[in-house]
Amino acid sequence: QVQAQKKIFNETPEQTEKRLSWWVHDRFGMFIHWGLYSLPARHEWIKNYERITDSAYQKYFDNFNPDLYNPREWARMAKAAGMKYAVITTKHHEGFCLFDSKYTDYKATKTAIKKDLVREWVDAFRAEGLKIGFYYSLIDWHHPDFTIDRVHPQRVSDPKEYERLNKGRDMEKYRTYLFNQVRELMTNYGKVDMLWTDFSYPGANGKDHNDWNSVELLKMVRKLQPGIIVNDRLDLGDYEDGGDFVTPEQYKVSEWPTRNGKRIHWETCQTFSGSWGYYRDETTWKDNKQLLVLLIESVSKGGNLLLNVGPTSRGLFDARAQERLQGMGEWMKVNSRAVYGCTEAPAGIQRPDNTLLTYNPDTKRLYVHLLDYPLQRIELPGLKGKVRYAQFLHDGSELKMRDTDKGGLAIDVPVRKPDVEIPVIELMLE
């Protein structure tokens, strides 16, 4: 007998599914990490990694001036890539706010650009028809009341030192700031489709749900934005509804994640090159095929992909990011039917070697993604008599099928690989 779990809200499973339905359908979103760290251009954790003091970090605030910022261009690039929603860092761990908060001067409106960058972003992405999400860092390395802990730039080696270090800092006051800012974000920008909080690290000299007053914070968010979807980083794992989806960061899940034996909603967040913030000299960029596999593999295991861009301090997507977005868009233009509304293939359908399967339960179409192009034919075990029609998805050209002796289905494919990064076979199931 499985113990009934604690719940914060009284929402039925059907209501939850309905609230999440656009997001489950859309599958592919853009993450945007933009802040003062785009000036040093060597990772968004630089203040921590290099233990930079507030006064030494000040030069990035003083020189922040994204004069080429044009969020309509960003939105058009996201849309052309096939992305349906986008999530922007309203504030990252460094504490700098892209939005015009009443509760701090550490914000874009007080820099040379003098604008609420979030307001313009929301308007632009809405205008292009994308859903919008706010990333908000629970961690704040700038706020004077945020206690120094094991992931703070001023962390120390002796664990007993923290008490002395934190004299005069008051998390109660920080919590008030956190609630005030989240209330602003949930109130001043119209409908917000998603809130992406980041992150909790329970334990010695860490921060957990008590530090954020997570239950009350989540209640406030859901009250102000009833339809909103919220991620799982508030440390509310004790509650069945303490987060709408899990967030595997920068790794691949081996299978559809579960909780108490039940499959749960998930979204992996991934970078082009390793860093989330713009990193000028990073050389570890994934190629278009790797990125497409990330997307297809996520969908094939019932999940979403939130793929990150780190804009430059002038406000542009750099050429490497643009290239990849364009490459993915080219594929999505003709293959998005194998992504939107799709999920894992029905149980019992086996994936041939070097392929990934996605499935649309509404149209009963099965998609075979050919990661490594086969020679002349591909065999699908167990599908004999179960497929009405087969075609390449990119050009809608018929593919001839034959039953095999072993109850399988053989599909003939042209010897030459079609000119598409990952060719997809569309099978209309009975």
Instruction: Determine the size of the site formed for ligand H79 (CB under 6 A).
Output: 10
Q: Are 167 and 146 in contact (CB under 8 A)?
A: no
Question: Binding residue for ligand H79 (CB under 6 A) from 151, 264, 334, 371?
Answer: 151
Q: Does 269 bind ligand H79 (CB under 6 A)?
A: yes
Q: Rank residues 146 and 392 by Cβ distance to ligand H79 and give the closer one.
A: 146
The length of the chain in residues reads: 430
Which of 335, 255, 258, 224 is CA-nearest to residue 289? 335
Q: How far is the CB of 198 from ligand H79 (least distance, A)?
A: 5
Per-residue binding letters, 208-247, with ligand H79 (x by CB under 6 A) = ----------------------------------------
Q: For the chain, how many helices (H) and strands (E)?
A: 11, 16
Q: Does 44 bind ligand H79 (CB under 6 A)?
A: yes
Q: Rank residues 174 and 276 by Cβ distance to ligand H79 and give the closer one.
A: 276
CA distance 189 to 195: 13
Place of tokens 């909080």: 197
Please give the backbone phi and psi of residue 370, each rounded to the nearest 5 degrees, phi first.
-90, 95
Q: Rank residues 11 and 282 by Cβ distance to ligand H79 and give the closer one.
A: 282
Q: How far is the CB of 33 from ligand H79 (least distance, A)?
A: 6
Q: Which two tokens stand for residue 138?
A: 């629970």
Q: What is the distance between the terminal CA atoms of the chain, rounded to a whole angstrom?
A: 38
Q: Does 248 bind ligand H79 (CB under 6 A)?
A: no
Please give the backbone phi and psi of residue 87, each rounded to the nearest 5 degrees, phi first.
-130, 125
Q: Rank residues 268 and 343 by Cβ distance to ligand H79 and give the closer one.
A: 268
Q: Does 278 bind ligand H79 (CB under 6 A)?
A: no
Q: How far is the CB of 250 from ligand H79 (least distance, A)?
A: 8
Q: How far is the CB of 88 from ligand H79 (least distance, A)?
A: 11
Please give the backbone phi and psi of residue 348, each rounded to the nearest 5 degrees, phi first.
100, -20
Residue 335 CB partners (closer than 8 Å, separation 6+): 393, 394, 420, 422, 424
Q: Rank residues 33 and 222 by Cβ distance to ligand H79 and give the closer one.
A: 33
Q: Which of the residues 164 through 203 are near ligand H79 (CB under 6 A)? A: 198-199, 201
Q: Are 76 and 128 in contact (CB under 8 A)?
A: yes
Q: How far is the CB of 131 from ligand H79 (least distance, A)?
A: 18
Q: Where are the alpha helices (DSSP H) in 141-260?
A: 161-165, 171-187, 209-212, 214-224
Question: Binding residue for ligand H79 (CB under 6 A) from 249, 282, 318, 323?
Answer: 249
Q: Which two tokens stand for residue 167?
A: 């004299």
Q: Interface with ligand H79 by CB under 6 A: which residues?
A: 33, 44-45, 151, 198-199, 201, 249, 269, 276
